[in-house]
Structure 1
Amino acid sequence: MFIQPTRQRWSAALAGTLGVGLTLGMAACSSGDSDDEASVPSAAPVDCAQYTSFGDLKGKTVSVYTSIVTPEDKPQIDSYKPFENCTGVTVKYEGDKAFETQVLVRAKAGNPPDIAFVPQPGLLKQLVETGRAVPAPQQVSDNVDKFFGQDWKDYATVDGKFYAAPLGANVKSLVWYSPQEFADSGYQVPTTLDQLKALSDKMVADGKTPWCAGIASGEATGWPITDWMEDMMLRLYGPDTYDKWVNHEIPFNGPESTAALDAVGAYLKNPKYVNGGLGDVKSIATTTFQDAGLPIVDGACSLHRQANFYAANWDEDTKVAEDGDVFAFYLPGKDATTKPVLGGGEFTLAFSDRPEVQAFQTYLSSDTWANNKAAISSGWVSANKGLDVNNLKSPIDKLSAQILQDPKAVFRFDGSDQMPAAIGSNAFWKQATNWITGQDTKTTVDNIEKAWPK
C-alpha cells in the first residue's frame, strides 16, 4: 500500500551522513557476562536488572527487519550492544530498501521477522490486519506513556490495542535560512504566520526573491507540496480538523483543504516569492528536493521549507548551526501560543511475544536506548522525552528534539503517509505537481477527492 518512495524522502536524504563507527560500552552494566565489552562509554547507564523479569535470555536471537540500510544501519546495530551484553541475546539485523512491500508479503505468508521498524501508521495497521502482529507488552506501553505521550501512542493503536513504540522521528515544520543574511539585513525569525508573510514581503522590497523550492523526486515527485499543505492544514485549522481531513471525515475538496492549498500557493505560486536562484514558479516541478535549498548559501534565495533531514544535502564545508552558514527555524503557527509540529517516524512492531523479543522492545522504547543511540549517531533524533538534547551530535538535531519536547508542541504524523496509497502516494503527489505547473486549486482538490477509494 505504501511504496518505497515514501520512505525514500527520509532515508535517501540521510544517506552518507550516519556512518559513525563508534561502539557503545557497558561501563554501567552489571551483568559482566560479555567478553567483548567496548571501551567507549555509553551515553546513559544500562540497568541490566530490569531485564531479569524476562527470564534467562542467554543464547536467544531476535530478528529485526527494517528499511534502514547502509550507512544508517551501523549506529542502529551498535546501539543494541548494551542490551546484547546485558541479556546474552543476539540481535540479527536485516535492512532492505524494498522493506515496505516485502514486510507485508512476509507477514501474509506467515514468515514475518520478530520485529519490524514500520515507518507509517497506515502500513502498521495493514500489518496488524494480517493477524500476525502481537500487541506490545505492558513494559513498552508504560514506557510510551512516560516518554512519548498519547499522540504517539494513538498512531500505533489499532482497534483499541496498542502495538508498537516509536523509534526515530523527524521534524518537517522547519524553514532553512542564512543566519548571516538575517544578521546583516536586520531580519528577525518570525513567530507567527503573519510575521512570516511580512518577512517575505520585506525581502521582496529589499530586491530579493525570498523562497526557493523543488518537488522533483523520481516516482515520488510532488511530495514536498503535500508536506507544505499538511503544515498549513495544521496551522489554519488545528489538529482535530487535520485528523478528520487525513481520515477523509471531511472531503479533500472541502473549504478547509481548498484554503490550505491556497495558503501554500500564496508562497509557492507567487512569482515575486519564488523560485530564487532556480527559475520561475514552474521550475519548482523540475528542481529536485535535494537541490532546492542550496541557493541559500549563494544568497540567491533566503528561505526553504524542508525537514530536519535536509541537513544531509549541504556541502560538507557548509556549517549548519545557529551561527553558521545555514540553519533552520520552526515554521510558526497561526499565533505564538500554538505549536503544531508535522513529522514522521518509525514504530517497533513485533510479530512474536517471546520473552527475548519483549525485552528488546522494552529496551528500544526506553530513554536509555534513545540516549545511547544519540551518543553514536548524527542526523538522528527521537521524540522520546527522556532524551537528553545535549547528547545529540548536531545543532539541527538538537533543535528538532527541542521542538518535539516543547510542552506546547502538538505532533501530527505526515498526512499523506496515513492516507490510502491511491491518494497519499499517487493522486496527491501527481495533482500537486499539476497544480504547481498551472492547474487551479479547485481542479486539484476535486481530482484528489475523486480518486479517494470508495
Structure 2
Amino acid sequence: MLLVVLLLVTSCGVAAEETVTVLGPWDPGGKEGKAFLATLDRFTRDTGIEVRYRGVRTVNAILRLSDLAGSAPDVAVLSSPAELARYARAGRLARLPRDPGVQERQYLALDDPARPYGVVVKTDLKSLVWYDRTVGTAAAAPFTSFADLVERGQQVRARGGVVPWCIGVKSGAESGWPGTDWIEDILLHLYGADAYERWARGDLAWTSAEVRGAWLAWHRLLETSGMLTQSRTMLLTAWNEHPPTPCAMEHQASFLRPQGWGVHPFPGDNSAVSVDVAGLFHDRPAARRLLAFLASRQGQQEWTGRAGGGFFSPRTDLDRAAAYRGDDIGLLVANRLAGSSRCLDGSDFMPQAVGTAFATAVLEFLADPRAEALDGILGRVEEVRRSVPPADWLRDACS
C-alpha cells in the first residue's frame, strides 16, 4: 500500500497540468485493466493529456493512505457509492459540473442534485442466475418467480449427482458479500423497489417483516435444496471458485461469467446492480476532461469494444447489438441493464458500518443456519443501523 501511495506522489509531481493520475480497481495486467488502459490511451491520443493509472484491489485502503499523505490521485474509481460519498461530505471531492455528454442516470448526488459528487463509469448486473448446461439441470427454462427458483433447486436435489447451488462467500476482509447479494435480490423481488429503497436508505428496520422475510426466504431455498448441510463449505469456498462437488446453478453478477454456462435473469422486473463510480479529488481542467470522456458515449463505446463483452455501460444510447455481436449473454445483460428498473447494490449503498455488519451477519447465519438464530443476528445489525447518523445515509438507491 505504501508503495502505491509513493507512486501516486511521484506521478503527481510531473507535468501536472497535462498529466492526470487515476486510482482504480482493475489490475493493469488483467483483461479489465487492459481494456481500461486502452481506453485511456485513446483519450491521450485525442487530447495529448497523459494519464497515469494505478490499479489495486484495495482502492479504499490506498485512497485513505494517499489522502492522509496529501497525495490523493486526481480521479479515483470506487465500487462503493457510500465510500465515495464519505469523501464528498468531508469536502475532499470536487462537486462535478453537469456535462451535456453525460447522461443524467450516471450522476450520483447527495443533498443537492445539481451538484453531483460522482459519475458512474461502469456497471454490472447482480440479478442473474447462471446454470451449467452440461449437467442436465432443471434450470434450462427461465424462472417465473422466486417460488419457481426454490422448486428448481428441489428438482436438482431429487435427481442427485450434483449440488443444486454453487455458493462461496469467502473474500478476504470482505467475506460474506455474495450472501448479501442473495438477500438484496430476494428482498427486491419479493417486496418491491419501494421497500428496498426504504431499507437501503436506512428507513426500514432490519427486524422488519420485509427484511426478516427475505432472510427466511433464503433459508427456505437453502434448506429445501439440501444446501444447509453445505454451510461450512460455503464459508470456506471463495466467491469465484466452485466447491469440489459439481454444482448446477449459481447466483452471481455479470462480472463472474462461468465458461460455457447459460444464464437467466433473477425472476421479477427489478434488477440489482453494482457500479464503479468515479470522483474528482483535484479539480483541474485535464482531470475534468478525462472524467467527462470516460462517462461519454464515445468513451463508453470505446471501453465496451476493448473489453470484448466483459464491460457493461450505465448508458442507454450505446450500440449494444454491435458491441455484443455474437455474444447473446452479453447482449442479454446489456439490454437488462438499459431497460429494467434498477436498484443499486444495498451493501455498497449503505454506510460502511452497516455494510460490514450486513456481511458479518451472512457469515454468522451460515455458521449457525438455524431459523431461530436469525432474530439475534438481525437484531445486531439493527443496532448498527440505529447508531448511524441520518446524514450518513444516501438516498435514491432505485432512481
Report if TM-score (shorter chain) is over 0.5: yes
Q: What's the CA shift for 1:137?
A: 2.3
Tell me the equivalent position of 2:141: 188
1:128·1:158 contact (CA, 8 Å) conserved in 2? Answer: no
Change (3 A) 1:412 1:293: farther
CA distance in 1, matches of 2:139, 2:129: 18
Q: Please list every run of 5 or more consecutive structure 2 residues that lacks an aligned counterpart in the other structure.
A: 1-14, 389-399
- Tell me the amino acid that sits aligned with residue 62 of structure 2: Q
Determine whether 1:310 maps to 2:256: yes
CA distance in 2, matches of 1:91, 1:187: 45
Q: What's the CA shift for 1:450?
A: 2.1
How do residues 108-147 of structure 1 correspond to structure 2 at under 5 angstroms? 110-139=70-99, 143-145=102-104
| 1:143 counterpart SS class | coil
Q: What's the CA shift for 1:424?
A: 1.0
Change (3 A) 1:203 1:95: closer
2:200·2:346 contact (CA, 8 Å) conserved in 1? Answer: yes
How do residues 191-340 of structure 1 correspond to structure 2 at under 5 angstroms? 191-207=144-160, 209-270=163-224, 272-274=225-227, 280-292=230-242, 300-311=246-257, 314=258, 320=259, 325-333=260-268, 339-340=269-270
Q: Which runs of 4+ in 1 moved over 6 A?
A: none
Render the CA deviation track for 1:135-155: whole Å, top value 9, x for unaligned. 222216x5222xxx2xx53x3
How do residues 65-104 of structure 1 correspond to structure 2 at under 5 angstroms? 65-71=23-29, 72-104=32-64
Tell me the equivalent position of 2:323: 391
1:169·1:344 contact (CA, 8 Å) conserved in 2? Answer: yes
Q: Give TM-score scaled by structure 1 length.
A: 0.73
Change (3 A) 1:87 1:156: same
Tell me how many residue pairs correspond in the alignment: 363
Q: What's the CA shift for 1:293?
A: 6.8
2:76·2:278 contact (CA, 8 Å) conserved in 1? Answer: yes
- Tell me the amino acid that sits aligned with residue 367 of structure 2: T
Q: What's the CA shift for 1:158?
A: 4.6
CA distance in 2, matches of 1:358, 1:280: 49
1:245·1:251 contact (CA, 8 Å) conserved in 2? Answer: yes
| 1:387 counterpart SS class | coil
Change (3 A) 1:281 1:84: closer
1:59·1:88 contact (CA, 8 Å) conserved in 2? Answer: no
Q: What's the CA shift for 1:268?
A: 2.1
Render the CA deviation track for 1:234-290: whole Å, top value 9, x for unaligned. 1122222212112221211111110010111111233x4427xxx634432222222
Q: Give TM-score scaled by structure 2 length.
A: 0.82
Alpha-carbon RMSD: 2.7
Render the CA deviation track for 1:95-154: whole Å, top value 9, x for unaligned. 2344212323434654332211122111111111221311222216x5222xxx2xx53x
Determine whether 1:414 maps to 2:345: yes
Comparing 91-100 with 116-125, greater Cα deviation is found at 91-100
Tell me the equivalent position of 2:397: none
- Tell me the amino acid that sits aligned with residue 263 of structure 2: A
Q: What's the CA shift for 1:74?
A: 2.4
Determine whether 1:404 maps to 2:350: no
Question: Structure 1 vs Structure 2: percent identity of aligned residues?
Answer: 25
Change (3 A) 1:110 1:125: same
Name whichever structure is richer in helix by fraction.
2
CA distance in 2, matches of 1:68, 1:78: 13
| 2:342 counterpart SS class | strand
Change (3 A) 1:188 1:97: closer
CA distance in 1, matches of 2:70, 2:281: 10
Render the CA deviation track for 1:398-423: whole Å, top value 9, x for unaligned. 332121012xx121121112223222
Q: Please list every run of 5 or more consecutive structure 1 residues that lacks an aligned counterpart in the other structure.
A: 1-56, 315-319, 334-338
2:96·2:117 contact (CA, 8 Å) conserved in 1? Answer: yes
1:169·1:345 contact (CA, 8 Å) conserved in 2? Answer: yes
| Structure exhibiting the larger radius of gyration computed from Cα positions | 1
| 2:187 counterpart SS class | helix
CA distance in 2, matches of 1:430, 1:328: 29
Q: What's the CA shift for 1:348?
A: 1.9
